[in-house]
Amino acid sequence: MFSKYDSINSTRSEYRRTKRRMTTPPAIVGSGALLILFFGVSVSAGAEITVSQAWVAPTEAVGTDVVLSMTVTNDGAESDALVRAACPFANFSEKRTIDHGEGAPSNRAIPNIPLPPHNKVTMVETGFHVELLQVREPLVEGTTFTCNLSFRNAGAMEVRVKVSRSEPSS
């Protein structure tokens, strides 16, 4: 049968195995952590996000708000989200959706715009969109500029935006 020393011996053996595992050289552990970090970043940076048909309506008024409309396609296997937008001609930007609660529809600020996997989201004034607040200069039809968009997984991307009275063709 078992003696009282069997449990002590098994405990010692477990201690030795644990101690051996814990004394793995730091260089190997550090290299493994760097590989995980590196591949984790490359997977995030490799997300399949494309932006097309980005445009804003022309306006002569300074200090007004305009809607940045665009089509964002997520061809990746994981969901993503638009978390930030910055354009050189606007002081601020806000991600919004139309709330169809009680009464008339109203704009509501949201923390991000969800982008489901293998899906296309068209951002327009009547749904999810980016509102560019306090325009600093008149927006003349036919001009283009670059905005920076930041996505949760895909990271930052520059997008060419056209000033047009209607959605531009691809």
Domain ranges of the chain: 4-45, 49-163
> For the CA atoms of 15, 16, 21, 27, what is the dihedral angle to 10 degrees?
120
Cα gap 83→49, rounded to integer Å: 13
Cα gap 85→131, rounded to integer Å: 9
Q: How many CB atoms lie within 10 A of CB 46?
A: 11
> With contact defined as beta carbons under 8 Å apart, do 83 and 150 qualify?
yes
Joined together, the tokens standing for residue 103 give 């009464």
**pLDDT for position 8:** 52
**pLDDT for position 105:** 84
Strands (E), the chain: 49-56, 66-74, 80-86, 90-99, 106-109, 113-115, 119-123, 129-135, 144-151, 155-163
Q: How far is CA 53 from the centre of its chain?
A: 19
> With contact defined as beta carbons under 8 Å apart, do 96 and 64 qualify?
no
**pLDDT for position 153:** 94
- Residue ranges of the chain whose pLDDT lies below 50: 7, 10-11, 13-46
Q: How many CA atoms lie within 13 A of 86 on its CB side?
A: 7
Q: What is the pLDDT of residues 84-96, one digit of tens each?
A: 999 999 999 999 9
**pLDDT for position 39:** 30
pTM equals: 0.69
**pLDDT for position 101:** 78
Task: Report the CATH number of the 49-163 domain.
Answer: 2.60.40.1890
> With contact defined as beta carbons under 8 Å apart, do 85 and 70 qualify?
no
> With contact defined as beta carbons under 8 Å apart, do 15 and 40 qualify?
no
**pLDDT for position 4:** 54
